[in-house]
């Protein structure tokens, strides 16, 4: 990237050093009142962490592309196969109550926070931590977790392509048993509770489940002796997935923004078609009532609230760096609060809508199989998408192939939309760091590396590893770093200063609801979730099979690499700061970089004046500073 006009800024270091650490944590931490030299004709090296600080960042072709991209990112596979099962396990319709409360106290505030900070700084996930360089390791850890997530998400997309192609067969291949599956297989057409009750051969397994495990996955019972060789079909489909992702991102947001119209809207066309079909099936209403019937006693169960928080956290894709990245391409003065409300509301409503579709069709399956307990035909996670739902579709008397094609195509579009967002986040970090490289080089390079990493999930032991990476390489890392991100913005950078930034950017005063959530409710609840996760932790298993010790050691190493980014970069940042004593170096490390602020030189000059005029010297007492940080 060519050098561009930028400010040279200097602060009176002596006065800055006179601040206490609490000043740094709670008070506005810009150099108010100090000499500012603004030389628009001078040139300065572009900051190495983010090219955006050196000039104007590319923008969305149309503002609505940001909204559609966020919808495509947030509304994904978790809405279709995770939320319905989680809700069913945790109170049915009553689960909606804690879910909505968590949406208001965690989901929406964090979503709004990330969008605002990304838009204000016009930086990617790493660059925004110029506001508190000591915490930059959070961003590196989040990008690491996001990169791992893209690899197994693409592998799931490969499975949907396998099923999508199989759905065009004259007879759905999972509807009948193959001889090599043995006598315990029961075909979908003859699958019913009376058949199960009359068997003396042991537990019967549906042909849909055996098709998934024996044909699609070729799954092993354990991975004690290794994970096996990749499945050729899945390797080809995985390659196609990454070709599609690379093609979509080859020109950055200008190509992905155009794709967002289709990725955000088309799944709803299919979802409503499937809903219409579900409502016309016998037994569908029983399934929907079973899904939505409140179990009020579950509201006092801590597990229900834990499930609501984790589902909300991962459904909205907050604290993974993707929202910050998308928002960094917004126009600086865009008022995004309406977009945030729209996306978070659509995400929640889609989860409930998908639950009605899934359980409506499973209600029909229960009726067809003479099963009075609908829970007996429901499997969680991937089993819901690749076993339970295909079973139900195979029972359709009218055009089962059509509805199978629609369902798996919807899954594919939902998954690819989310994966494009995650991949774009990682690619943007590399683009900001190595801004001399063309977009297509970084995109293709990342896609090739991700494809090669994803090959492990196409092996017979791939699902064992996918389950492991999902927890240790993504979820468990994200939980730790999310708390760090929220604390960084709310207490190190400061809610007060953040609200001043919002006022300058959007000409909006921040209400007490947002301030209390950012400062108290959100970090507090997230910390409780972390404590609960650690207290209730049990060694991870897959289908009740324990992992070998060497695999678990690798899993913990995977986790440590992600979380360890925080202390590593914190120590590095403190070490490289000017100053004689450790206290001076630490104080510098928690202050924003000199390049921190709006990317435009003109806007930065106005920002300095605005903040200087907003200067207020807080009282020396800690309680006053805490109060001032939240309400000031």
Q: Provide the pLDDT for residue 43.
A: 35
What span, in angstroms and rounded, lies between the C-alpha atoms of 504 and 175? 61
Residue 207's nearest CA partner among 195, 198, 197 is: 195
Q: Provide the pLDDT for residue 481.
A: 94
Burial class (CB in 10 A: 0-12, 13-18, 19+), 525: middle
Strands 541-542 and 205-206: unpaired
Phi-psi label, residue 379: left if phi above 0, alpha if psi -120 to 50, beta otherwise: beta
Extract the tokens encoding 513: 């609801």
What span, in angstroms and rounded, lies between the C-alpha atoms of 541 and 152? 18
Query: pTM value?
Result: 0.86
Helices then strands, counting H and E runs in the chain, come out as 30, 4
Contact 478, 145 (CB under 8 A): yes
In the block, residue with structure tokens 């809700």: 87
Contacts of 500 (CB under 8 A, 6+ apart): 28, 610, 611, 614
User: Does residue 336 lie in a domain region?
Assistant: yes
User: Does residue 330 lie in a domain region?
Assistant: yes
User: Does residue 355 lie in a domain region?
Assistant: yes
Burial class (CB in 10 A: 0-12, 13-18, 19+), 516: middle
User: Does residue 532 lie in a domain region?
Assistant: yes
Angle at 630 between CA 629 and CA 632, to 5 degrees: 65
In the block, residue with structure tokens 């979802």: 271
What span, in angstroms and rounded, lies between the C-alpha atoms of 158 and 178? 23
User: Does residue 142 lie in a domain region?
Assistant: yes
Main-chain phi, psi angles of 325, to 5 degrees:
-60, -50
Strands 545-546 and 541-542: antiparallel
User: Does residue 206 lie in a domain region?
Assistant: no
Residue 51 CA neighbour count, 13 Å, CB half: 18
Tell me which residue range forms the domain holding 339: 13-172+223-631
Q: Provide the pLDDT for residue 620.
A: 65
Q: Provide the pLDDT for residue 19.
A: 38
Q: Provide the pLDDT for residue 198.
A: 47
Q: How many domains is the chain built from?
A: 1
We report the CATH number of the domain holding residue 418 as 1.20.1740.10
pLDDT in tens, 580-624: 889 889 999 999 998 899 988 889 889 888 888 876 655 567 787
What span, in angstroms and rounded, lies between the C-alpha atoms of 207 and 72? 33
The ranges of the chain with pLDDT < 70 are 1-56, 189-202, 377-381, 615-620
User: Does residue 215 lie in a domain region?
Assistant: no
What span, in angstroms and rounded, lies between the C-alpha atoms of 363 and 330? 44
User: Does residue 481 lie in a domain region?
Assistant: yes
């Amino acid at each position: 990237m060519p050098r561009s006009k930028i400010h040279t800024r200097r602060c009176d270091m002596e006065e800055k050093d006179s601040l206490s650490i609490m000043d740094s944590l709670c008070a506005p931490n810009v150099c108010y009142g100090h000499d500012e030299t603004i030389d628009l004709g001078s040139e300065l090296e572009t900051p190495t962490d983010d090219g955006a600080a050196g000039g104007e960042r590319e923008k969305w072709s149309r503002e609505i592309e940001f909204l559609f991209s966020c919808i495509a990112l947030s509304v994904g596979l978790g809405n279709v196969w995770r939320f319905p099962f989680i809700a069913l396990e945790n109170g049915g319709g009553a689960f909606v109550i804690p879910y909505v409360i968590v949406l208001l106290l965690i989901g929406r505030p964090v979503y709004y926070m990330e969008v605002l900070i990304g838009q204000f700084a016009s930086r990617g996930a790493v660059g925004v931590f110029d506001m508190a360089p000591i915490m930059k390791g959070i961003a590196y850890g989040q990008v690491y977790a996001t990169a791992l997530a893209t690899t197994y998400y693409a592998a799931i997309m490969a499975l949907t392509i396998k099923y999508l192609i199989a759905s065009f067969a004259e007879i759905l291949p999972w509807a009948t048993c193959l001889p090599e599956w043995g006598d315990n297989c029961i075909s979908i057409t003859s699958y019913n509770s009376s058949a199960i009750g009359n068997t003396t051969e042991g537990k019967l397994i549906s042909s849909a489940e055996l098709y998934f495990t024996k044909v699609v996955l070729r799954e092993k019972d354990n991975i004690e002796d290794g994970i096996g060789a990749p499945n050729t079909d899945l390797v080809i489909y995985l390659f196609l997935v990454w070709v599609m992702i690379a093609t979509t991102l080859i020109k950055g947001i200008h190509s992905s923004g155009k794709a967002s119209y289709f990725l955000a809207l088309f799944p709803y066309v299919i979802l409503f078609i499937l809903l219409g079909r579900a409502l016309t099936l016998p037994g569908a209403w029983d399934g929907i009532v079973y899904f939505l019937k409140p179990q009020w006693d579950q509201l006092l169960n801590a597990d229900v609230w834990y499930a609501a928080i984790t589902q909300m956290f991962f459904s909205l894709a907050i604290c993974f760096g993707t929202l910050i990245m998308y928002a960094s391409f917004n126009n600086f003065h865009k008022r995004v609060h309406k977009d945030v409300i729209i996306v978070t509301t659509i995400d929640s409503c889609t989860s409930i809508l998908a639950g009605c579709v899934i359980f409506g069709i499973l209600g029909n399956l229960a009726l067809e199989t003479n099963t009075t307990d609908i829970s007996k035909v429901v499997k969680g996670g991937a089993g819901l998408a690749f076993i339970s739902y295909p079973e139900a579709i195979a029972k359709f008397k009218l055009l089962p192939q059509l509805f199978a094609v629609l369902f798996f195509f919807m899954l594919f579009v939902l998954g690819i939309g989310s994966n494009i967002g995650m991949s774009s986040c990682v690619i943007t970090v590399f683009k900001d760091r190595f801004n001399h490289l063309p977009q297509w080089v970084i995109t293709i390079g990342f896609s090739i590396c991700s494809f090669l990493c994803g090959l492990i999930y196409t092996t017979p032991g791939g699902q064992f590893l996918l389950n492991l990476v999902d927890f240790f390489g993504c979820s468990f890392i994200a939980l730790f770093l999310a708390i760090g991100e929220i604390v960084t913005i709310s207490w190190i950078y400061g809610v007060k200063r953040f609200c001043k930034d919002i006022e300058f950017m959007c000409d909006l005063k921040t209400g007490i609801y947002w301030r209390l959530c950012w400062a108290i409710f959100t970090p507090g609840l997230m910390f409780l979730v972390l404590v609960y996760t650690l207290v209730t932790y049990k060694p991870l298993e897959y289908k009740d099979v324990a992992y070998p010790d060497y695999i678990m050691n690798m899993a913990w190493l995977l986790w440590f690499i992600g979380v360890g980014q925080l202390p590593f970069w914190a120590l590095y940042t403190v070490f490289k700061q000017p100053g004689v004593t450790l206290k001076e170096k630490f104080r510098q490390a928690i202050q924003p970089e000199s390049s921190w602020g709006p990317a435009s030189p003109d806007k930065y000059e106005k920002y300095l004046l605005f903040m200087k005029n907003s200067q207020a010297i807080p009282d020396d007492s800690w309680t006053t500073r805490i109060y001032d940080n939240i309400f000031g």
